[in-house]
Chain A
Amino acid sequence: MFEAAPINLQNEQVQNRFRLMFGGMMVILIIPVVIILATLVIKGWPAISWTFLFTDPTNGMTAGGIFPALFGTIWLVVVSLLASVPLGVAAAVYLSEYAPDNMLTRMINLATINLAGVPSIVHALFGVGAFVIFFRFGTSILAASLTLAIMTLPVIIVSSWESMQAVPRAFREACWNMGATRWQTIRTVVLPNAIPGILTGVILQVSRAAGETAPIMFTGAAMFLPFLPNSVFDQTMALALHLFVVATQVPDIPESLPFGVALVLVGIVLIMNTLAIWFRMRLRGKKKW
């Protein structure tokens, strides 16, 4: 009486077909990732060495290392974080904890989310108009970093807001009922529990800032500079732009060089993302409310 009836076999067949379809989709998605990474490693690995990472480019960028670009990327990312993190987290705290839930707040939230989808070239042109020309920063690390900050701000705000909203309301009520002010509630309950989420959002934006070319092209990154920047008012080289230049603008270049630059860039981004995931797992592991 417990043997499979025809209807069971039929159901099983349909179920297998769907499993195959979903599995196939997944494989199709993975293939490009594997191919890209494999090509980068195979073609770029021969170029990687200590001298490649830590010396200047030579012979019209057809030989030598990438140190000024690596160094410049780090500069850009750090300065842009110094601007975007305090601003973004503070704005998110206001939106999540202080702002009344009305039309205006919802409009601002919606606008912020939409801003995250604005193409980076638009941010670049805004950066030229605002920072390079209006604030007279010239093409400099400062102007480029601020442009990157504007580009990353929306996502930092949204992810911080979301991780604060994920803190259960019961905790806030408990605090308020003991007579705590909003700030005391934020400091003792909301922020400590939202920090893993906020950090994840921030680190993901670090890798985005490191990889974008358009926003820095017009605002502060130079194709070739034979010296390192001294202050935030100097121009700098950057990995993303350097990759564009060696891949398309310089003739007679060894094939491994652009692949090497790409590998370093992807490597930096991968390391940062892995750090973000590891960090989040560590903080979440301890948190069970």
Chain B
Amino acid sequence: MTTSPEFAITTKDMNLWYGTFQALFDINLRIKKGIITSMIGPSGCGKSTFLRSVDRINERLGYVRITGAVDVFNQNIYAPSVELSQLRKQVGMVFQRPNPLPISIRDNVLFGYRIHNDSGRKISKSDEEAVLEDALRQVLLWDQVKDRLDQKASVGLSLEEMQKLCIARLLPVKPSILLMDEPCSALDPKGTAAVEELIWELRGRYSILIVTHNMAQARRASEECIFMLMGKVVEHTSTEDMFVAPAHQETANYIEGRYG
């Protein structure tokens, strides 16, 4: 297998079963580093399943079996030597429903930073403040929340602000990949626009893989696009090509809204 470091996620002949049900078939993907890749496809086509196997959160279910290879920056993430905590530090996940922890905004943003602190000493207050401000500025949230950092994050924030906070809390540990599972589907159009704008801002600094049901969003907010159907990858090409000149009939049908 030849992979160059320009790819963030590469898979080779990846198959995945939930018990006896096969959810993914022979997935061969090379997802480029530093850009935004979107995944589209009808419900149940395996988009979220794929996403969840890149940070290995699927394993919690217990009955998941995977064959083939999943590499992140050329490292096999299913190798026995892989420490889940380190993998999840590199690969952050944003969920469909914003899920800030029921602690203060400050503690939410610093949560990951604190548990991954391996310097062996306590993090200084000024250090924490700097990290906090940097993360909240990156997600364009600093100005809205800077006066209420000690307020509980799960009350008093709009869904859009919560989702931005959920992205912000991934950043202090310097991840290289951000996985987003329909990050805007719980938001209103204004919130969606704001979060999309943010995702576009983050482009280049992080490799972003975003699962979406919203084709307009995939078109607006991604550079490459993957179309999946029934657990298989049908097409993986630049977003522009996919929406202007899809190579497969199924892709064209889906994009035109004939099913899905």
Q: Is B112 an interface residue (CB 8 A)?
A: yes
Per-residue interface assignment for chain B, residues 29 to 63, with 1 indicating a CB less than 8 Å from any chain A CB and 0 otherwise = 00000000000000000000000000101001010
Is the pair B88, A171 in contact by a Cβ cutoff of 8 Å?
A: no
**In the complex with contacts A184-B115, A289-B154, A179-B89 CB distance below 8 A:** yes
Per-residue interface assignment for chain B, residues 173 to 195, with 1 indicating a CB less than 8 Å from any chain A CB and 0 otherwise = 10000000000000000000000
Q: Is A177 an interface residue (CB 8 A)?
A: yes
The number of residue pairs between A and B whose CB atoms lie closer than 8 Å in the complex comes to 65
Chain A minimum-CB-distance residue to B108: A174
- Chain B neighbourhood of A171, CB < 8 A: 99, 101-102
Is the pair A181, B101 in contact by a Cβ cutoff of 8 Å?
A: no
Tell which of B111, B155, B166 touches A188, judged by Cβ atoms closer than 8 Å: B111
Q: Is B4 an interface residue (CB 8 A)?
A: no
Q: Is A99 an interface residue (CB 8 A)?
A: no
Is the pair A174, B166 in contact by a Cβ cutoff of 8 Å?
A: yes
Is the pair A179, B103 in contact by a Cβ cutoff of 8 Å?
A: no
Per-residue interface assignment for chain A, residues 170 to 187, with 1 indicating a CB less than 8 Å from any chain B CB and 0 otherwise = 110111111111001000
- Cα of A124 to Cα of B229 in the assembled complex, Å: 64
- Chain B neighbourhood of A80, CB < 8 A: none
Q: Interface residues of A: mostly helix, strand, loop or mixed?
A: helix
Chain A minimum-CB-distance residue to B96: A170
- Cα of A180 to Cα of B113 in the assembled complex, Å: 11
Is the pair A177, B62 in contact by a Cβ cutoff of 8 Å?
A: no
Chain A minimum-CB-distance residue to B102: A289
- Cα of A173 to Cα of B101 in the assembled complex, Å: 10
- Chain A neighbourhood of B87, CB < 8 A: 179
Q: Is A268 an interface residue (CB 8 A)?
A: no
- Cα of A282 to Cα of B95 in the assembled complex, Å: 32
- Chain B neighbourhood of A100, CB < 8 A: 62
Q: Is A193 an interface residue (CB 8 A)?
A: yes
**In the complex with contacts A173-B57, A189-B102, A180-B95 CB distance below 8 A:** no
Chain A minimum-CB-distance residue to B87: A179
Q: Is A19 an interface residue (CB 8 A)?
A: no
Q: Is B144 an interface residue (CB 8 A)?
A: no
Is the pair A178, B115 in contact by a Cβ cutoff of 8 Å?
A: yes
Tell which of B84, B97, B103, B112 touches A170, judged by Cβ atoms closer than 8 Å: B97
- Chain A neighbourhood of B100, CB < 8 A: 174
- Chain A neighbourhood of B173, CB < 8 A: 178-179
Is the pair B101, A175 in contact by a Cβ cutoff of 8 Å?
A: yes
- Chain A neighbourhood of B62, CB < 8 A: 100
Per-residue interface assignment for chain B, residues 77 to 91, with 1 indicating a CB less than 8 Å from any chain A CB and 0 otherwise = 000000011111100
**In the complex with contacts A100-B62, A176-B60, A181-B102 CB distance below 8 A:** no
Q: Is B92 an interface residue (CB 8 A)?
A: yes
- Cα of A40 to Cα of B62 in the assembled complex, Å: 58
**A191 → chain B closest CB, angstroms:** 12
Tell which of B86, B88, B103, B154 touches A176, judged by Cβ atoms closer than 8 Å: B88
**B162 → chain A closest CB, angstroms:** 11
- Cα of A205 to Cα of B233 in the assembled complex, Å: 58
Q: Is B164 an interface residue (CB 8 A)?
A: no
- Chain A neighbourhood of B226, CB < 8 A: none
**In the complex with contacts A100-B62, A173-B57, A289-B154, A179-B101 CB distance below 8 A:** no
- Chain A neighbourhood of B60, CB < 8 A: 176
- Cα of A189 to Cα of B103 in the assembled complex, Å: 8
- Chain A neighbourhood of B24, CB < 8 A: none
**B94 → chain A closest CB, angstroms:** 9
- Cα of A177 to Cα of B112 in the assembled complex, Å: 9
**In the complex with contacts A173-B57, A189-B101, A289-B155, A179-B84 CB distance below 8 A:** yes
Is the pair A178, B92 in contact by a Cβ cutoff of 8 Å?
A: yes
Tell which of A173, A181, A184, A287 touches B99, judged by Cβ atoms closer than 8 Å: A173
- Chain A neighbourhood of B55, CB < 8 A: 177
**In the complex with contacts A178-B112, A179-B116, A188-B95 CB distance below 8 A:** no
Q: Is B225 an interface residue (CB 8 A)?
A: no
- Known pairs A170-B97, A181-B85 / 13 extra A-B pairs, C-beta < 8 Å: A170-B95, A171-B101, A173-B57, A173-B99, A174-B101, A176-B57, A178-B170, A179-B84, A179-B86, A188-B101, A188-B111, A192-B102, A288-B155
Chain B residues engaging chain A, CB cutoff 8 angstroms: 55, 57, 60, 62, 84-89, 92-93, 95, 97, 99-103, 111-112, 115-116, 152, 154-155, 166, 169-170, 173
Chain A residues engaging chain B, CB cutoff 8 angstroms: 100, 170-171, 173-181, 184, 188-189, 192-193, 287-289
Cβ-closest 6 pairs across A and B: A179-B88, A179-B85, A170-B99, A178-B112, A177-B93, A174-B99
